[in-house]
Structure 1
């Protein structure tokens, strides 16, 4: 029996054509692996990654790394994989690169800022309009988590100053009358980047798992005086580069959903699950050797799990068109014995929003974040200057 593996790159046999077209026209670089058995092609794996919209070189290299990673997981040699690696005709290359430069320089003149939004909650998650809370132009605010306690809404979020691009965590009260965040204070600022303050309650105590990918660990913090005082309780998983770690307590066990960065997989591409029977006293172990999702349009977490009418809903990011483009609503069908879910909708947002990548809710109020365009002088100078440095240096 002759087995031969072939690869399709965004519906093309040629590697360069598939990547170039994905960067210019598509939401993702899609890789479909086929095995030929007795002259019949059988799809064995479909994965996707986000194109780098300002670098053909990075997109090509990231795709090569992804191909190597998937070959390792499939247990095949990359040389067994058949696809066209030949260079494209010069005229075709020129046309792609000319269009690429035109699009890139157009995007350089759209300064963007993440802002927190909120709305009255409805049963369908996506009908009422969002109210924006615009922060100072020098910062962005994102990744909001909301807790209702003592008749107040507390919003935990990431704040980042554009001057140093170093994220830290803050909390504020959401004043529904004024539509503002009040009594804001920084609660956690460390030597490494922090974001995604996943806050949850267990046995009448509040805990938090912040995103600490740069620290190569997933740490658990305990609140010693709500909501402003926090201290590290323990490290849940060490020697890991992971983001947006989110717990689900189900049938007496704790499942940790997270997105890991390894060679061939960026934070947005994949979703892995870890499990423990005792959150505080037993180590987490991988539930499956391989990621359960390998699709940039639905892998990465975008907030807490939502329990709605007996269903468990997982909110995930769609980062195909751009990072944090939209948030999906996925119904969890099965965790053990092979993870399964189905997409049942998206979180609706302002039509003018350039991105929406976090959603959480509590006691009739939903919070999220939107990426908006901001055209004041400071934002134009900051955004265009940063992009020019990236391109030229």
Structure 2
């Protein structure tokens, strides 16, 4: 039988992240991204406001190639879609383009664990021109690395990539005084091991003095829902967090009701992605084609490395 394929769809929600966690995604509040061709999608959306426009960065994925890159989508102040274009491609898969402003610059920390490292990018000319400036050394190439400036230092939440189960169920932490290091691993890693509330899933926030970290609930399926961790203790030796109920894809978003794995605040709006699955013989052919292309690329890369 054909394997079901995850098909994601992104939306800009005209609610704050706190309102969504408290009340859910309200009917009529979502502005969908433009449609994409069959067996392609955008996922992992993050955004920044700049000069009255909303600049959205998202993973663009095609099952025919099975390698993601980062696209930019631009909206005006009334959230009218203006344009889209690719802004970051590498030989390896890219996703989770966490974009943020700090230290007088604009930065992006996309996931690229198959490259063997976590690379920090800086905008030479926002939003199109990005340069790799620093490789962050960790205990494992990071999955969904999520930075936060808090208490006078940088904290980095991520899942390790060394094990398939750990990618969905383990939360690790590192810290540094500067984005460009040196970075220190938390001695309690993994600070959390739980399929329901470990893998990061969006932009962290501070509510009432507590750090609120969106995390993925992967108990039933990858990216099944967002829960939130309320982190009460976070320092160089301690970590204490309480798992709180989060948000699932609402029924009115059908057929995209089988998962929700990003909650990324952007001022008065929030970026989310929701999914459906598709199982068909055509989809299976597309999947196999993508797997063969990926294996061919990897074999060619190994041949070039061997010289």
Give TM-score scaled by structure 2 length.
0.82
> How many equivalent residue pairs?
278
Specify the alignment match of 2:262 in structure 1. Answer: 358
How much does 1:363 deviate?
2.2
Checking the alignment, whether the CA contact within 8 Å between 2:7 and 2:39 is kept in structure 1 is: no
Aligned equivalent of 2:45, options 144, 148, 161: 144
Q: 2:12 aligns with which of 109, 112, 118?
A: 118
1:174 to 75, 80, 84: 75
Structure 1 gap segments, 5+ residues each: 1-104
Matched, 1:128 2:128: no
Alignment match, 1:165: 66
Q: Say which SS state the counterpart of residue 124 (structure 1) adopts.
A: helix
Check 1:346–1:179 CA distance in 2 against 1; reply closer, same or farther (3 A cut).
farther
Which secondary structure does the structure 2 equivalent of 1:302 belong to?
coil
- Correspondent of 1:324 among 187, 200, 223: 223
Which residue, out of 207, 221, 246, partners 1:346? Answer: 246
Work out the CA distance in 2 between the residues paired with 1:275 and 1:109.
40
Aligned equivalent of 2:233: 334
Question: Are the counterparts in 2 of residues 219 and 237 from structure 1 also a CA contact under 8 Å?
Answer: no
Does the CA contact (< 8 Å) of 1:217 and 1:239 recur in 2? no
Residues 370-389 of structure 1: pairs in structure 2 closer than 5 A: 370-373=274-277, 380-385=280-285
Larger RCO (CA within 8 A; separation ≥ 6): 2
Q: 1:111 to 1:176 in 2, by over 3 A?
A: farther
Match of 1:291 among 190, 193, 201: 190
- Pick from 259, 271, 274 the counterpart of residue 367 of structure 1: 271
Instruction: Tell me how far 1:297 sits from its aligned partner.
Output: 1.4
Contact 2:58/2:97 (<8 A) preserved: yes
* Structure with a larger share of its residues in strand: 2
Give the secondary structure class of the aligned counterpart of 2:192: coil
| Distance in 2, Cα, partners of 1:175 & 1:115 | 20
Q: 1:388 and 1:151 mapped to 2: Cα distance? A: 43
User: Is 2:263–2:272's contact at 8 Å kept on the other side of the alignment?
Assistant: yes
Q: Distance in 1 between matches of 2:287 and 2:64?
A: 14
Bigger CA radius of gyration:
1
Contact 2:64 2:286 in 1 (8 A): no
User: Residues 125-149 of structure 1: CA distance to partner in whole angstroms, max 9, x if unpaired?
Assistant: 2242334323222411100001111
Map of 2:150 onto structure 1: 250
Q: Distance in 2 between matches of 1:388 and 1:163?
A: 8
